[in-house]
């Protein structure tokens, strides 16, 4: 059979009989060649799959939102006929190996990187592999150069929390922060600190308690902060998980959240919404975030300039029952 015949058969030319076409196709498969589903995939070798590696050893903060986040990604991906390949890793090292394996096996054409660190080793790895990626959050400026990202302005939410508490008459505001190697934790602390300075409110070191992750950490941090003299009358927390622990610390001391001490969280987690009273918090739309990240990543894979693929969104205040007028201002 001539190369011309094989070519015409594989391209379904009408002058080749169906029987010949079938024989050629069968022979091609037997030789280890299989037709790919999409013309584009043929040209580019693409899997039409986005990759997401979830690192499980990290704190739970991402888990309550995982279903919403996946929903956003897969909805946007399937609208463009892409799919999502999910992997998990038990450690950062295993995570990096997982990216390498998925790239080598062409299981994903690019990656969404959740929970960015300020110095994030995934950036160098994916760059070296020439594999497209989008950051959920940011990294240090130098590392983020040439990167696409989607970021929720957590620092702006913290600034809004300070304005809100100042409006309630609070003067001494404490902060329960998360581990500062994560960009989100760093940005929320910076936002709060800047807002306190701008408002002329105290920024003593003793008002800042960082490196916390679990609700038990939040409880312990709130206990430490409330032991200060003078004690803060309001606590802003980097996550709802920490805030739920802080509310528990108040109750253990016989203090009423929203009356004796105000507590504000961040995330919009179900545990905060279900609490009694519901937590005042800044809620993030995780479905929208997942969808935009998928759209950005597909655009990036399609060759769009990464620096034009940078978006931010705001967290939105969801007032609950854990904040209110400062006790001092009621007394006057």
Other beta carbons within 10 angstroms of residue 304's beta carbon come to: 14
Stretch that binds a second copy, among 98-106, 167-175, 220-228, 318-326 (CB under 8 A): 98-106
- For residue 268, what is the DSSP state? -
Q: What angle do CA 213, 219, 222 make, to 5 degrees?
A: 105
Buried b / exposed e along 210-225 (16+ C-beta atoms within 10 A): eebbbbebbbbbbbeb
Q: Which of 13, 22, 105, 181 binds a second copy (CB under 8 A)?
A: 105
Binding mask 58-97 for a second copy (x = CB under 8 A): --x-xxx-xx--xx--xx--x--x-xxxxxx-x-------
Nearer to a second copy, 107 or 318 (CB): 107
Tell me which of 19, 39, 128, 142 binds a second copy, using CB under 8 A: 39
Would you count residue 13 as binding a second copy (CB under 8 A)? no
Q: Is 102 in the site for a second copy (CB under 8 A)?
A: yes
Give how many residues touch a second copy by CB under 8 A: 56
How far apart CA 77 and CA 11 sit, in angstroms, is 29
Dihedral of alpha carbons 67, 175, 227, 319, sign: negative
Other CB atoms within a 10 A radius of the CB of residue 248 amount to 17
* Contact range with a second copy by CB under 8 A, out of 54-62, 157-165, 185-193, 226-234: 54-62
DSSP string for 300-327: HHTT--GGG-EEEE--EEE--SS--S-H
Among 13, 40, 56, 124, binds a second copy (CB under 8 A): 56
Query: Please, which residue, 87 or 288, has the CB nearer to a second copy?
Result: 87
In terms of C-beta distances under 8 Å and separation of at least 24 residues, what long-range contacts does 111-114 make, across chains too? 111/50, 111/51, 111/52, 111/53, 111/297, 112/50, 112/51, 112/52, 112/73, 112/136, 112/290, 112/293, 112/294, 112/297, 114/52, 114/54, 114/62, 114/69
Which of 13, 22, 26, 29 is the binder for a second copy (CB under 8 A)? 29
CB of 243 to a second copy, least distance (A): 13
Q: Is 33 in the site for a second copy (CB under 8 A)?
A: yes
Q: Which of 271, 288, 311, 325 binds a second copy (CB under 8 A)?
A: 271
Q: Write out the residues near a second copy by the rule CB under 8 A.
A: 1-3, 6-7, 10-11, 27-29, 31-37, 39, 41-42, 45, 48-49, 54, 56, 60, 62-64, 66-67, 70-71, 74-75, 78, 81, 83-88, 90, 98, 101-102, 104-107, 215, 244, 270-271, 274
């Amino acid at each position: 059979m001539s190369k011309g015949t094989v070519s015409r058969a594989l391209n379904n030319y009408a002058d080749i009989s169906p029987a010949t076409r079938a024989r050629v196709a069968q022979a091609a498969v037997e030789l280890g060649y299989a037709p790919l589903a999409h013309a584009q995939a043929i040209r580019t070798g693409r899997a039409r799959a986005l990759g997401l590696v979830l690192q499980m050893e990290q704190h739970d903060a991402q888990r309550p939102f995982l279903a919403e986040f996946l929903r956003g990604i897969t909805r946007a991906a399937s609208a463009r006929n892409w799919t999502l390949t999910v992997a998990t890793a038990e450690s950062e090292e295993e995570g990096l190996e997982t990216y390498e394996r998925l790239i080598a096996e062409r299981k994903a054409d690019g990656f969404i990187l959740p929970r960015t660190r300020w110095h994030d080793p995934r950036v160098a790895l994916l760059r070296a592999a020439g594999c497209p990626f989008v950051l959920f959050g940011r990294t240090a400026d130098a590392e983020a150069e040439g990167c696409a990202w989607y970021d929720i302005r957590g620092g702006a939410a913290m600034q809004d929390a300070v304005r809100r508490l100042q409006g309630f008459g609070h003067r001494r505001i404490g902060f329960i922060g998360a581990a500062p190697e994560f960009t989100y934790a760093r940005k929320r602390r910076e936002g709060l600190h800047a807002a306190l300075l701008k408002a002329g409110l105290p920024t003593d070191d003793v008002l800042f308690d960082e490196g916390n992750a679990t609700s038990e950490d939040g409880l312990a941090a709130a206990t430490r902060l409330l032991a200060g003299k003078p004690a803060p009358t309001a606590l802003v927390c980097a996550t709802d998980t920490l805030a739920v622990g802080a509310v528990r610390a108040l109750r253990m001391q016989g203090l009423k959240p929203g009356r004796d001490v105000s507590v504000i969280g961040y995330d919009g987690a179900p545990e905060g919404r279900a609490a009694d009273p519901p937590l005042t918090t800044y809620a993030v739309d995780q479905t929208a975030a997942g969808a935009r990240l998928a759209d950005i990543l597909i655009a990036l894979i399609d060759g769009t300039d990464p620096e034009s693929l940078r978006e931010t969104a705001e967290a939105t205040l969801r007032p609950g029952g854990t904040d209110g007028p400062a006790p001092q201002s009621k007394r006057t």
